[in-house]
Amino acid sequence: MRIVIQRVSEASVVINKAEVASIQNGLLVLLGVESDDTKEDIDWLCNKIVNLRIFSDENDVMNISLKDCDGDIIVVSQFTLHASTKKGNRPSYIKAAKPDIAIPLYEQFVATLQNTLGKTVQTGEFGADMKVHLVNDGPVTILIDSKNRE
């Protein structure tokens, strides 16, 4: 699994001109699922997201986690995170999981993240054409691949 974490002061997801998710301070997480991803990848990433110390403390030092600051979160599925651009100019998405594998893993990721965080996680809609609006706070943007955890 690959994720892009963006610390935001506000973020929202719009589908067919209707807002389906909206947060103020917190994280926007873009999630790409690969065919060989497992519950172990989900558990590791969810724990990392909730405990990553990327929010500023009283001394303006990134030392506080999402859980510590009671921040909110939106998760958006994004298969293009597994794009291969090694050959030519048209990206290949061969490593991205097909929907029959990706959807259950995406749903399990959201459920695990909710349990780990202890609050509701907002989402986009898997496979939908979404408009994601955000104000990146910092900016702080972090890429994490669960296959590169050692």
The structural domain count of the chain equals 1
pLDDT digits (tens, 9 = 90+) for 56-69: 999 999 999 999 99
Residue 100 has pLDDT above 90, yes or no: yes
130 within 8 A of 77, measured Cβ to Cβ: no
Q: What span, in angstroms and rounded, lies between the C-alpha atoms of 149 and 24?
A: 30
Q: What span, in angstroms and rounded, lies between the C-alpha atoms of 99 and 48?
A: 25
Q: What span, in angstroms and rounded, lies between the C-alpha atoms of 68 and 129?
A: 33
Rounded to an integer, the average pLDDT of 41-68 is 96
Q: What span, in angstroms and rounded, lies between the C-alpha atoms of 2 and 147?
A: 8
Catalytic residue among 38, 80, 120, 141: 80
Rounded to an integer, the average pLDDT of 8-33 is 98
Backbone angles phi, psi at 111, to 5 degrees: -65, -45
Banded pLDDT at 150 (limits 50, 70, 90): confident
**Higher-confidence position of 92 and 115:** 115
43 within 8 A of 112, measured Cβ to Cβ: yes
CATH number of the domain to which 108 belongs: 3.50.80.10
Structural domain range at position 74: 2-148
Backbone angles phi, psi at 79, to 5 degrees: -65, -20
pLDDT digits (tens, 9 = 90+) for 120-141: 999 999 999 999 999 999 999 9
Residue 148 DSSP label: G
* 141 in catalytic set: no
2 within 8 A of 82, measured Cβ to Cβ: yes
134 within 8 A of 11, measured Cβ to Cβ: yes
Q: Can you give the pLDDT at residue 51?
A: 97
Kindly state the helix (H) or strand (E) to which residue 44 belongs, with its residue range.
helix 39-51
Residue 71 has pLDDT above 80, yes or no: yes
Task: Report residue 92 as tokens.
Answer: 């290949």
pTM listed for this prediction: 0.94
Pairing of β 55-56 and β 26-32: unpaired
